[in-house]
Amino acid sequence: MIVEGRSLLKKYSENQGLEDVSFSLCAGRIIALAGGNGAGKSTLIRLLIGEEQSDSGEIHWAVERSIRYMPDEVNFPAALTAEEILQLLAGLKKVSIIEREKVLKRVGLWDFRKQKVSQFSKGMRQRLNLAQSLLGEEQLLILDEPTNGLDILWIAELKQILKEQKVKGKTVLFSTHLLSFAEELADDVLLLHEGKILLHGAIQDALSETSCEHLEELFMNRVM
């Protein structure tokens, strides 16, 4: 176990954030934080990264909090090149030039490293966002809706990149509203609906126990 949430409550004036949410994330696993719009996924991520505090409940880290983070969107300085942006961020994280170049190549931006971000497509900006989250060796990698803006090829590449992180012994938590994507990639799922947990645990175990073929079927059975 790397981190545990205990009876988390977070309310907003306009909607319910989280209501009595408890969970644990196991080290070395890929975990899907799944659910529709307004389910509470982004709220939970903000609590984990320390951007917000819960109204009640607590988050307990088994080890010192060590996080890399890919937000759902980043407004990179348009006048800078991909190489310049990664150079700045790598400097802050004390990452070597070799590692920085390796990351740029892994996300398919090496040939565009001298190009200004203002000339990037949405998908290329998302891949640069992914690249910055891959810098460093922090144990937990959190990605908020990482498939946004990616085409079919790069969604497939994203799966491989996250599996590579698991092979390195890292823990991966990604949010998504695509249950089929979650099922294809993740070991475990934390399925939220209207701020509450519908399902938490190993995906294959949950499907076997409920005799459901897919997460979408399980989800519909729980909410209907």
Q: Are 142 and 70 in contact (CB under 8 A)?
A: yes
**Amino acid letter for position 143:** L
Question: Residues 25-65: pLDDT tens digits?
Answer: 999 999 999 999 889 999 999 999 999 999 999 999 998 88
Structural domain boundaries in the chain = 3-66+138-223, 74-137
Q: Is 145 exposed, middle or buried (0-12, 13-18, 19+ CB in 10 A)?
A: buried
Question: Residues 116-131: pLDDT tens digits?
Answer: 999 999 999 999 999 9
User: Other CB atoms closer than 10 Å to residue 169's CB: what's the count?
Assistant: 10
Considering the segment(s) 3-66+138-223 as one domain, its CATH architecture is: 3-Layer(aba) Sandwich (3.40)
Distance, in Å, from the CA atom of 26 to the CA atom of 19, rounded to the nearest integer, reads 22
Distance, in Å, from the CA atom of 18 to the CA atom of 47, rounded to the nearest integer, reads 10
Q: What pLDDT is attached to residue 195? A: 93
Q: Are 61 and 43 in contact (CB under 8 A)?
A: no
